Amino acid sequence: MKLTIEVCATALAHAALNRKMILQLELAVGLCVFALHGSTDREARAMLNAAYAAAGYHCTHINEMDYKTVNRRINATASLFENLPIKKWVGHLSDMDAIKAVCEGLEPYELFTIQDVLRYAAPAKVRPKLAVKPNATILTGPTTGHDKVVQQFRRAVDQPGQTLTTEHLQMTIPHGTPRAELIDMAMQLMTMAKANELLTA
């Protein structure tokens, strides 16, 4: 097999014109480069990076704008190379014929994004979804005045006593409730009744 940077650059430039096949064609170029070298070593990665640069990507130096993106794509392609029978797909084909053969081999894998590639070839590198912790403050709700009401009902439930019932209300008065507390509760009910009378008048 033979493969030149010019052929790789032409394929990558063509991929930019056709978004439907851009990733598969891009992956095929990288996979063919790795197949040519028989590995994903530094020399193979350097050739692939040079092909990206020749196609117009700014990825030669670490401070260039496409460096990280291209490096991530090369790493993803390298992971994919370890999981697919690229040499079998390529056979004795060369240049664009080899790239087209790999594109056809990739077709059933439904790889449309780099995340798809990583999910298939390197799932450990895919970031897990962030779990949102529940906000305990919101779930418990406001507590202003709440504890006093809870305690009143708890006392009524815990201690048997006299139950007063009307058409819409039911109140249990525990045995031993002080007279002053009964009068206080009666006054609160009277105040509520008067306020309700003013609202409905």
Q: Say yes or no: 98 and 121 in one domain.
A: yes
Each residue's pLDDT tens digit, 70-119: 999 999 999 999 999 999 999 999 999 999 999 999 988 888 888 989 99
Last residue of a domain, one of 125, 154, 177: 125
In this prediction, residue 135 has a pLDDT band, given cuts at 50, 70 and 90, of low
Domain assignment present for residue 9? The answer is yes
Domain assignment present for residue 131? The answer is no
Residues forming beta bridges with residue 172, ordered by sequence position: 163
**For residue 89, how far is the Cα from the chain centroid?**
34
Q: Say yes or no: 38 and 62 in one domain.
A: yes
Q: How many domains does the chain have?
A: 2
Q: What's the mean pLDDT in 121-142?
A: 58
Domain assignment present for residue 116? The answer is yes
Q: What secondary structure does DSSP assign to 50-70, as a single string?
A: HHHHHTT---SSTTSTTHHHH
Rounded to 5, what percent of the chain is helix, strand, coil? Answer: 65, 5, 30
Share of the chain above pLDDT 70, in %: 75
Determine which helix (DSSP H) or strand (DSSP E) holds 164, and give its type and residue range. strand 161-165
Q: Say yes or no: 120 and 140 in one domain.
A: no
Q: Which residue has the tokens 């202003």?
A: 144
The residue type at 62: I
Instruction: Give SS3 for 110.
Output: coil
Q: Say yes or no: 116 and 155 in one domain.
A: no
Q: State pTM to two decimals.
A: 0.56
Q: Say yes or no: 116 and 142 in one domain.
A: no
Top pLDDT among 136 and 50 is at: 50
Q: Say yes or no: 85 and 59 in one domain.
A: yes
Phi, psi of 164, deg, nearest 5:
-105, 130
Select the highest-mean-pLDDT range: 31-40, 150-159, 175-184: 31-40
Q: Tokens representing 71?
A: 């490096």
Residue 146: the pLDDT is 55
**For residue 47, how far is the Cα from the chain centroid?**
33
Domain assignment present for residue 187? The answer is yes
Residue 72: the pLDDT is 95
Q: What's the mean pLDDT in 40-56?
A: 95
Which of 48, 34, 46, 42 minimizes the C-alpha distance to 102?
34
Domain extent, residue 143, equals 136-200
Last residue of a domain, one of 96, 125, 154: 125
In this prediction, residue 173 has a pLDDT band, given cuts at 50, 70 and 90, of confident
Name the CA dihedral angle for 22, 26, 27, 31, rounded to a multiple of 10 degrees.
150
Q: Say yes or no: 110 and 177 in one domain.
A: no
133: pLDDT strictly greater than 90: no
The residue type at 198: L
Q: Which residue has the tokens 């006093």?
A: 148
Q: Say yes or no: 58 and 96 in one domain.
A: yes
* Distance from C-alpha of 111 to C-alpha of 26, rounded to nearest angstrom: 11
